[in-house]
Amino acid sequence: MSGKMLLMGNEAIAYGAVDAGVSFVSGYPGTPSTEALEAVARLKPPGAHVEWSVNEKAALETAAGAAYAGARALVTMKQVGLNVASDPLMSLNYVGVKGGLVILSADDPGPISSQTEQDTRRFAQFARLPVLDPSSPEEAYAMARAAFALSERFRVPVLLRPTTRVCHACSVVERMKPEPLVKPSGFVKGKEWVIFPRLSFEAKKRLVAREPELADAQRPFNFIEETRGDLPARIGIACGGIGAAYAREAALSLGLRCRILKVGASNPFPEALAVEFINGLDCVLAVEELDPVIEDGLRPLMDGVALRGKRDGSMPIAGELSAAIIEDALRVMVPALSLDGGKDGEPPPLSSSGDISTCGGDKGVGSAPSLIAAAALRPTEAVSGEEMERQPRLPLAVPIGGDAAAQAEGASPNAAADEPAPTPPIRPPILCAGCPHRASFYAVKRAAKGRKAIFCGDIGCYTLGNAPPLDMVDTCLCMGAGVTIAQGLKSADPDAHCFAFIGDSTFFHSGMTGALNAVYNRADMIIIVLDNRTTGMTGRQPHPGTGESAVGEPAPKADIGAILLALGVTSVRRANPFDIEEAIETTHEAMDETGVRAVIFEAPCIAVAKPGRPMAVDASRCVGCQVCVKALGCPALSFMPSPYQQGRIAARIDASMCTGCSICSQICPTECIQPLDGPKGGDTA
Amino acid sequence: MNCLLCGVGGQGTVLASRLIAQCAMDAGAFARTSETIGMAQRGGSVVSHVRWHDHAGAIPSPLIPLGGADALIGFEPGEAVRCLPYLKPGGAAVVSVNGVTSAVAALSGNQPDAAVFVDYLRKAAPNLILLDGAEIARRVGSAKTLNMALLGAAARLLGFSVESMLDALRKRLSPRLVELNRLALEEGAAASGSARTVNPKEGSI
Ligand code: SF4
Ligand code: SF4
C-alpha cells in the first residue's frame, strides 16, 4: 500500500525501514521509541525477522550478525538503551557492516519518561558515526529509508535520533514506492570481522579519512532555507530536529524573514554549508533540543558574527523547546519585533545569492540517499505571504518562559478579569487502580515494619511505588541496577534488610546478571520479582516470560523461578500479592533466611487481565478512619461527606476504575468494603 | 484549525486526537498531532494537540502555541481549567462536567469539587458546551466511550460531520468496537444541540 497516511513518527520510521527492504528488526521497548518495532511487527514484512530482544546490547549484536550476512537491519531503543548497547556499538564502527544497519535511538528532552537528558548526537560524535535528526514524522520516514543506503555505502551503522515530539507526533506521511527486498547475500568469512588491536588502529584511521566523503554524502540532509515573513532581518537560525519545526513556527508567527540552516546530519558537521549560511548575517541563533551540538559546530566558523544559543543562556540548556521560547529569543535579537508589527524599521537586504532557496537542499549528489532525500527531505511546503496573512497571529502578550505546562497554569486570556482561576488538583502519574505492584509494595512494607530495611527500585511502572503513601523506592538508577545496588548497600550497611524490586521484563533485561553476581559473591539480600507477565510501562510488549513473540506467535516461556534457582539463589517463593496475609507471610519467611533469597509476586498487569467485579463501600458502616486511602493510594478510592453522619466522611470507590483487586477490603478494619452487588468475586482472574 | 484535548490518562484522548486528524486528512488537509504517551499517562494530566491546514507549511510544528487553540475539548473540568490559557479569546470549549478524583488530592483530603471548575468555565469561556459524559456513558452502556461523546459534541465546531467522524472511526477501530463508539458519537452530537443549558448537578442533558 502506498499513498498518504496519518502516521506517528515511530510508525513512519517503521514504514521507512520496511520500504527500504529491511529484513531483520530487533529492539527493546523504551519510551519514546517503542512503537517503531511494534509497527514493523504489525506490518509483518514477508521474510523479515522481528524480535523483542532481552536488552539493547543483545538487540544490536543480533542485528549486527544479520547485517554481516548482508541483511538490512533496524535496531530500536531509547537513548538510555544506547548506553546498554554502547559496548557493541563502539566496536561495530570499526568492524563495520555489509547490509545497512540503522540504529533508532530516540531521545527524550524534558525528560518526560526517562532517567537522563542525554543526546544521541553526542554518542555519534563519540563513535564517529553518522546520525540523522528528523524534524517531523514525514522527514523521519525519508531519513529512515535513506539511512540504509548511507550505511551500506560507508559500511558503518547509521544512527537515527528523533526526539519525543517527532516520535509521538502524527502527521500526514506520503509513502513512496518500496525498494524491492534484497535477499541477504550471505556471510563471507574474512579477517575484517574479527576485531584485533591492529584492525582497530587501521579502522580508526579509515573512519577519520572518510569523513570528508561522508560529509559530502550527507549534503541532502543539510540545507539553507529562507522564511517568508514581511520583516526582513539579517539574522539566521541554525536548527535541527524538532527545533527546526519550532523555528519555522516562530518565524511564521512573528512574520520574520530570515535565513534558516537546517542540520539533519550533524556528524561530521557540515562546515562549508555553515560558512555559506553565516556569510552576511549579523547574528545567529542556534535552536536544538538537548545538547548544543550545532552551536558547538558553528562556533569556530563564526568569524566575528554573534552566536546565541544554550551556551550564553539565550536558549534553555535543559528541557523541551517551544516556538514561544524561540520567539522570545528572536525578539531580543531583532528589536523591531518588540514594536508591534515592526514594519517601520529599515530592512537590511538579505543575501540574494542563488544559494539560498526556500526548499533548500543540494540536489547534485547522485547517491541513493540523496535521491530519496532530495525528493522527501524538503521542508514542508512554503506558505505564500497571502496564506500567511490568513494564519492566526499569536498575540504578542502571551507569557513566555521555559516550561509550557507552567505557562499554562497562568491566568486565562479568556477569564473574567476579576476572578482568579480555581487551582486544579495536581495529577502526577500513579500506579493504576488494581495494579498488583501496589499490593506487593504494601505487603513488603507491612512485612518489614519495625525492622531496618532498604528498598531498591528499578525501571518500570513500579518506579511509581516511590510516591506516597507507599514510599517504597529508596534507590533507582538504571535497568537492572536495583539488584546490584542492594548487594552493595548490604555490604556497607550490614544491619539492614536489603530488598531489590524488579519487574519481569527488567529481570530478563539485566536482572539475571545482577542475581548471579549476588549469588557468586555471597550476598545477603532479597530479590522481589514483580511478575505481571508483561512490559507494562511501555504498553504491554511480550518478553521471554510471556510465551509470545513480538509478532504474536507462540514462543518458549522462560520460568523466572527456575532461572533464579539455576543461578544459585538459596530459595524461591511465590505468592499472590492480592492475598495480603499470604504475601506478608511469604516475605517474613524469606526475611528469616540468609543468602540471596527470591520472592516472586505473581499477578497480571490490569492491562492484560480481565477486571473482576468492582468493590463498593457500605457507607453506613464506614467509620471514616481513612486507613484504606492512606495506606494504598489507589486512584479509585476517595472520600465524600458521609451520607449517614453529619460532619463525618466516608470512603467511596469509583466503580468505573476499580478492578476488584480487593486489597482495600482486606485492610478495612470494619469490613465495610465488599464486592458490588453480592458477596463473591473480587479476584482479578 | 488548532484543537487541544485535555484530560486524565486513560480517558481516551489519544484516540480522539487521532480521529480528528484522520478526519482532517480525509478532508484533504495536512494534519499534525502530538500526545502524552509513556509514564506520564498513568493517571496523570494528559494533553493532545491537533492541528490541520491546507498547507503543511502553515503548521510547521506539532504544538499549539498558548492562546492559539480554536477549540478545546476537556475530558475533565479541572483539566479544562488548567489548559484554558491555550484557548484563543472567543474560542469554543466542549467540556465534560464529571470530575475525576486525583489520588494525590484524596490523600491530602482536599479534593476540589468539579462544580467549582464548571462554574469558572461558564464565566471564563463564553463559547462553552457542557456535556454530562457520565450520563451518556450510562445510556451507551460503557464508561470508555467518553471520548466519542465529546467528539460527537465537538464535530460541528471542528467543521466535520458526524458521518465523516464515523468514517474515520471505522478506519482506526476494530470492527467489534465500532457500534458502541458510534452510539456514543451520536449521543454526543445530539446532546450538544441543547447542551448549553445543562445543569451539571442534575445531570440532565
Ligand atoms: S478493590 Fe480497592 S484497592 Fe483494588 S482497585 Fe478497587 S478500590 Fe482500588
Ligand atoms: S478503611 Fe474502611 S472504615 Fe476506614 S475509611 Fe476506608 S472504608 Fe471506611
pLDDT for the residue A605: 92
- What is the rounded average pLDDT for all residues in chain A? 86
Question: Which atom of ligand 2 is nearest the CA belonging to A625?
Answer: 4
Give A484's pLDDT tier (boundaries 50, 70, 90): very high
pLDDT for the residue A398: 25
Residues 113-152 of B with CB under 8 A from A: 116-117, 120, 123-126, 137, 143
Digit-coded pLDDT (tens) for A100-114: 999 999 999 888 778
CB contact under 8 A, A429 and B111: no
**For testing the chain B interface, which of A427, A652, A676 should be mutated: the one with the most B CBs within 10 Å?**
A427
pLDDT for the residue A516: 95
- Is B165 in CB contact (< 8 Å) with chain A? no
Digit-coded pLDDT (tens) for A247-292: 999 999 999 999 999 999 999 999 999 999 999 999 999 999 999 9
pLDDT for the residue A354: 30
The CATH number of residue B149's host domain is 3.40.920.10
Segments forming the whole domain that contains residue B144: 2-202
Give B108's pLDDT tier (boundaries 50, 70, 90): confident
CB contact under 8 A, B101 and A398: no
Q: Which residue of B has its CA nearest to A410?
A: B85
**Mean pLDDT, residues A17-41 taken together:** 95
pLDDT for the residue A678: 52
Out of A6, A398, A461, closest to residue B66 by CB: A398
Q: B197 to chain A nearest CA, in Å?
A: 20
pLDDT for the residue B191: 87
Residue B111 Cα to ligand 2 middle (Å): 17
Distance, in Å, from the CA atom of A288 to the CA atom of A468, rounded to the nearest integer, reads: 36
Of A234-238, A288-292, A402-406, A616-620, the poorest mean pLDDT is in A402-406
Question: Which atom of ligand 2 is nearest the CA belonging to A623?
Answer: 3
Of A156-170, A384-398, A636-650, the poorest mean pLDDT is in A384-398
**For testing the chain B interface, which of A38, A78, A412 should be mutated: the one with the most B CBs within 10 Å?**
A412
Whether the pLDDT of residue A685 is over 70: the answer is no
The dihedrals phi and psi of A126, each to the nearest 5 degrees, come to: -55, -45
Q: Which residues of A touch B2 (CB under 8 A)?
A: 392
Residue A199 Cα to ligand 2 middle (Å): 70
What's the residue count for chain B? Answer: 205
Beta strand segments in A303-417, E = 306-308
Distance, in Å, from the CA atom of B71 to the CA atom of B94, rounded to the nearest integer, reads: 8
pLDDT for the residue A418: 59
Delimit the CATH 3.40.50.970 region(s) of chain A: 3-179+188-217, 436-549+558-602
Of A71-80, A176-185, A371-380, the poorest mean pLDDT is in A371-380
A340: left (phi over 0), alpha (psi -120 to 50) or beta: beta
CA distances from A16 to A191, A224, A625 (A): 33, 25, 58
- Residue nearest atom 6 of ligand 1, based on CA coordinates: A658
Whether the pLDDT of residue A536 is over 90: the answer is no
Question: Nearest 10 degrees: CA dihedral of A329, A333, A339, A342?
Answer: -120
pLDDT for the residue A2: 55
More confident residue, A186 or A670: A670
Distance, in Å, from the CA atom of B70 to the CA atom of B93, rounded to the nearest integer, reads: 9
Residues 6-25 of B with CB under 8 A from A: 8-10, 18, 21-22, 25
Whether the pLDDT of residue A342 is over 90: the answer is no
Out of B39, B43, B66, closest to residue A408 by CB: B66
For residue B5, what is its C-alpha cell?
484535548
Digit-coded pLDDT (tens) for A566-575: 999 999 999 9
Whether the Cβ atoms of residue A347 and residue A232 lie closer than 8 Å to each other:
yes
Residue A675 Cα to ligand 2 middle (Å): 14
**Mean pLDDT, residues A185-195 taken together:** 84
pLDDT for the residue A339: 54
Block residue for cell numbers 546490584: A484
Domain count of the fold of chain B:
1
pLDDT for the residue A376: 40
Distance, in Å, from the CA atom of A671 to the CA atom of A625, rounded to the nearest integer, reads: 12
Q: What is the pTM of this model?
A: 0.82
CATH architecture group of domain A615-675? 2-Layer Sandwich (3.30)
What percent of chain A clears pLDDT 90, i.e. is strictly above it?
67
Give A219's pLDDT tier (boundaries 50, 70, 90): very high
What percent of chain B clears pLDDT 70, i.e. is strictly above it?
90
Give the pocket of ligand 2 (CB within 6 Å).
A 617, 622-628, 651, 668, 670, 672-673
Whether the pLDDT of residue A673 is over 90: the answer is yes
Q: CATH: 3.40.50.920, 3.40.50.1010, 3.30.420.40, 3.40.190.10. Which one for A219-384?
A: 3.40.50.920
**Mean pLDDT, residues A393-406 taken together:** 30
The dihedrals phi and psi of B82, each to the nearest 5 degrees, come to: -60, -40
pLDDT for the residue A365: 28
Largest CA-CA distance found in chain B, in angstroms, rounded: 50
Digit-coded pLDDT (tens) for B138-155: 888 887 899 999 999 999
pLDDT for the residue A21: 94
A636 lines ligand 1 (CB under 6 A): yes
Antiparallel, parallel or unpaired: β A169-175 and A3-8:
antiparallel
Block residue for cell numbers 442533558: B205
Whether the pLDDT of residue A587 is over 90: the answer is yes
The dihedrals phi and psi of A358, each to the nearest 5 degrees, come to: -80, -20
pLDDT for the residue A338: 67
Q: Which residues of A touch B67 (CB under 8 A)?
A: 394-395, 398, 413
Whether the Cβ atoms of residue A596 and residue A626 lie closer than 8 Å to each other:
no
Look at the domain A3-179+188-217 and name its fold.
Answer: Rossmann fold (3.40.50)
**Mean pLDDT, residues A428-456 taken together:** 94
pLDDT for the residue A144: 97
**Mean pLDDT, residues A81-97 taken together:** 93
pLDDT for the residue B10: 83
Find out if CATH 3.40.50.970 is the number for domain A436-549+558-602.
Answer: yes
Delimit the CATH 3.40.50.920 region(s) of chain A: 219-384
Whether the Cβ atoms of residue A138 and residue A171 lie closer than 8 Å to each other:
yes
Nearest to B17 by CA among B8, B6, B26: B6
Give A148's pLDDT tier (boundaries 50, 70, 90): very high
ipTM: 0.83
- Residue nearest atom 2 of ligand 2, based on CA coordinates: A668
A431 lines ligand 1 (CB under 6 A): no
Question: Which atom of ligand 1 is nearest the CA belonging to A434?
Answer: 5
